Amino acid sequence: MPPQPLGRSGARLAKAMNKLGWHWWPSDTTVATVDYEGRARCINLGHCTPGCAQGAKASTDITYWPVALRAGIELRTHCRVREITTNEHGMASGVVYYDKDGVEQFQPAEVVVIACNGIGTPRLLLNSASGRFPDGLANSSGLVGKNLMFHPYAQMYGYVDEPTDSNRAPPTCLWSKEFYETDPARGFVRGYAFQFGRGVGPVFEAVASEAKGILPWGEDHHRMFRKLNGHRLAVSAICEDLPEEHNRVTLDGVLKDSHGIPAPRVDYTIGENSTKMLEHGIARGKEILAAAGATNICVNNPILYGGWHLLGTARMGTDPARSVVNEWGRSHDVKNLFIVDGSVFVTSGGVNPTSTIQAIALYVADQMKQRLANLFD
């Protein structure tokens, strides 16, 4: 499948990266650029994040779910699992959940697979504590809920003299891994990817620029708005957060959800390594924008509305004392319990995690099939 066109924004940013001699590549966007398996190709509607009327965006409702349903899966929506139950052998025996009418139900199971991500998964495991598993299910290591990682994300943006693609295309055009690998000279380990944005629409531009103080109230508003609107280029550093046990998910002692299930409590501080990485990314991002001819350069650090991917709280590993699931996703403690979400990450990676989560889920599913004869050994 070919990449998205470079567009005006991509071409301008690509020239800037070439000028600096830095790596870049057209971005994958999870969007079909040609007709594909019954889905029509992208026609640049622009509003990819909330949904795609064209069906070009590969969201799970039109990719995995139809295939699963055709294979005979029963999907029960508007349900909320309270706990995973276990039997006298220490195996998972099913789940207790509330159905769409709020009625408590029990679903027996031979195998339980969790995909609730970095907060929901530890919450469920911790809420599944029992006499046999007093510290929560699958938690003999004590690591369920610990090592919570996000993607601290610094965004730099500026304005160029020529029109950009604005919000009339998928938001991301290029990325770069120039600063992805460890370089000791930088003062931090691991690194970050740059993600390049094509621009935004008028409402977003007006609200964001006013809040940033570059779009005035009053007489000069219109002149300034026309200078900014449709002229934005953006670059974001998506940093590889590292595992730190004090960043964690626990159960709140007071808060409960509408079903009375204890709510998760999140404790997290951006670490020193990630802070240094953000600072490095901001400096390099400003250089890129300057090379692209941008002015009025602004920084959001960290951004508030993205990058908070939920990772690391049921980490994968071969040592049961230092991990929650083994190298193919099975709980070390409960041999018919599998986890296939971002909680099994051991570091966060400096990229958006969905593709990796999918790869892990597919890998674990393949492993389960291949090991079916001795899956619980």
Site for another protein in 103-142 (CB under 8 A): none
Pick 45 or 189: Cβ nearer another protein: 45
Pick 210 or 279: Cβ nearer another protein: 210
Among 127, 138, 147, 165, which residue interacts with another protein (rule: CB under 8 A)?
165
Phi-psi region of 293 (alpha: psi -120 to 50; beta: other; left: phi over 0): left
Among 47, 76, 256, 371, which residue interacts with another protein (rule: CB under 8 A)?
47
Among 109, 129, 206, 291, which residue interacts with another protein (rule: CB under 8 A)?
206
Pick 132 or 226: Cβ nearer another protein: 226
Pick 180 or 192: Cβ nearer another protein: 180
Among 43, 67, 69, 255, which residue interacts with another protein (rule: CB under 8 A)?
43
Considering the rule CB under 8 A, would residue 178 count as an interface residue with another protein?
A: yes
Token digits of residue 137: 């299910």
Other CB atoms within a 10 A radius of the CB of residue 216 amount to 13
Pick 26 or 317: Cβ nearer another protein: 26
Considering the rule CB under 8 A, would residue 54 count as an interface residue with another protein?
A: yes
Q: Least separation, in Å, of the C-beta of 106 and another protein?
A: 37
Q: Contact region for another protein (CB under 8 A) — 17-25, 87-95, 101-109, 349-357?
A: 17-25
Q: Contact region for another protein (CB under 8 A) — 37-45, 86-94, 117-125, 188-196?
A: 37-45
Q: Least separation, in Å, of the C-beta of 179 and another protein?
A: 10
Considering the rule CB under 8 A, would residue 18 count as an interface residue with another protein?
A: yes
Q: Least separation, in Å, of the C-beta of 216 and another protein?
A: 9
Among 27, 31, 46, 151, which residue interacts with another protein (rule: CB under 8 A)?
46
Q: Least separation, in Å, of the C-beta of 229 and another protein?
A: 6
Q: Least separation, in Å, of the C-beta of 316 and another protein?
A: 17
Considering the rule CB under 8 A, would residue 321 count as an interface residue with another protein?
A: no
On whether the CB atoms of residues 198 and 173 are closer than 8 A, the answer is: yes
Q: Least separation, in Å, of the C-beta of 239 and another protein?
A: 18
The pairing of strands 337-339 and 112-114 is parallel
Site for another protein in 213-272 (CB under 8 A): 217-219, 221-222, 226, 229-230
Token digits of residue 78: 């508007």
Type of residue found at 150 = F
Pick 11 or 115: Cβ nearer another protein: 11
Backbone angles phi, psi at 129, to 5 degrees: -60, 150
Q: Per residue, what are the HEC states of the chain?
A: CCCCCCHHHHHHHHHHHHHHCCCCEECCCCECCCCECCECCCCCCCCCCCCCCCCCECCHHHCHHHHHHHCCCCCCCCCEEEEEEECCCCCEEEEEEECCCCCEEEEECCCEEECCHHHHHHHHHHCCCCCCCCCCCCCCCCCCCECCECCCEEEEEEECCCCCCCCCCCCEEEEECCCCCCEHHHCECCCEEEEEECCCCHHHHHHHHHHHCCCCCCCCHHHHHHHHCCCEEEEEEEECCCCCCCCEEEEEEEEECCCCCEEEEEECCCCHHHHHHHHHHHHHHHHHHHHCCCEEEEEECCCCCCCCCCECCCCECCCCCCCCECCCCEECCCCCEEECCHHHCCCCCCCCCHHHHHHHHHHHHHHHHHCHHHCCC
Pick 2 or 134: Cβ nearer another protein: 2
Applying CB under 8 A, the residues found at the interface with another protein are 4-8, 10-11, 14-15, 18, 21, 23-26, 42-47, 53-54, 165, 168-169, 177-178, 180-181, 202-203, 206-207, 210-211, 217-219, 221-222, 226, 229-230
